[in-house]
Amino acid sequence: MKTIKGPAIFLAQFVGDDAPFNSLDGMCKWASDLGYKGIQIPTWESRLIDLDKAAESKTYCDELKGKVKSYGLEISELSTHLQGQLVAVNPAYDAMFDAFAPDNLKGNYAARTEWAKEQVRKAIQASNLMGIQVHVTFSGALMWHTMYPWPQRPSGLIEMGFKELANRWLPILDFAKEHGVDLCYEIHPGEDLHDGITFERFLAATGNHSSVNILYDPSHFVLQQLDYLQFIDFYHNYIKMFHVKDAEFNPTGKSGVYGGYQDWAERPGRFRSLGDGQTDFKAIFSKLTQYGYDGWAVMEWECCIKSPEQGAREGAPFIQSCIIEASEKAFDDFAGGDSDEALNKKILGI
């Protein structure tokens, strides 16, 4: 067993126009002062990273890592959630997801898709140059609008959808493998990869590509009423990244999993700050440690009630309290004896 690294924090939800959230230096000092040891960087935020430079320049990557290290931090991982989303967008969502694209590509959906693929490749290159072997992204979604089987889905539709999704990602996955980087898809509602079954179908469609892996975020499973602990039992070999995010599900006689189109604060399923929801993090950290996960535990703040500042303050000590120092010896070693074949045969009566 190995000890999970952390606490780290995903910066995406905190970036803003006001100091300290408008620069990498400001955010590094802020995170370090709160007790975090790592930062996960969203690569679409030019105030934090120049992705073009990071993809091409080892010097730039070393300087960036050095700046972060000067605050007592490490770069845990890079993220392309927004760009990965644009690798596969159903036309029903084209207008809404245009917000994730540069202004010069809005409305030009074919060009937007190619830009997104190139962005993920650049982030893979940057990860490699930084010595980071995992990268998180979204799968995008061609089939999400058919998630509920009404109207009845035509035969072969889902198989075709996963085949097309795999075709879009396979060149990127091959590129990642060449650069020694594993892609970790965040299993997330709104993505075609939103639970264990959809992950398996995508994995099979890619020919069980070795670069296909998982970012584990239990909050999305609480909202789906999926067993987030057994998920670890099934998929621990693929879990190579971990978002520590809390959630709760409180159905009523008026609303359940689908939420009635309500805002987050009124939905039965809603994200909460760490410790305020229903997620059993002690059990999660125990399982991940048992299975040898030695990546980062990264706090992602999303809460419809508590402020981000308070959520961030409370997040580092919460994660630290969950991290298990993995034992290097068995608790009953004191009562053991040396190996003795003759004695073993005597005990067995053979």
Residue ranges per structural domain of the chain: 5-348
- Those residues of the chain that have pLDDT short of 50 are none
pLDDT at 263: 97
Given a contact cutoff of 8 angstroms between Cβ atoms, the answer to whether 81 and 140 are in contact is no
Q: Give strand pairing partners of 183.
A: 135, 212
Which class is domain 5-348? Answer: alpha beta
Distance, CA of 194 to CA of 214 (rounded, Å): 11
Residues 6 or more apart whose Cβ sits within 8 Å of residue 249: 222, 223, 225, 257, 268, 269, 278
DSSP-derived 3-state class of residue 186 = strand
pLDDT at 256: 97
pLDDT at 349: 93
Distance, CA of 166 to CA of 237 (rounded, Å): 20
Distance, CA of 208 to CA of 47 (rounded, Å): 37
Given a contact cutoff of 8 angstroms between Cβ atoms, the answer to whether 254 and 260 are in contact is yes
pLDDT at 309: 97
In 3D, which of 143, 139, 198 has the Cα closest to residue 170?
139
Distance, CA of 268 to CA of 252 (rounded, Å): 7
pLDDT at 327: 83
In 3D, which of 260, 236, 264, 262 has the Cα closest to residue 248?
264
pLDDT at 304: 95
pLDDT at 193: 98
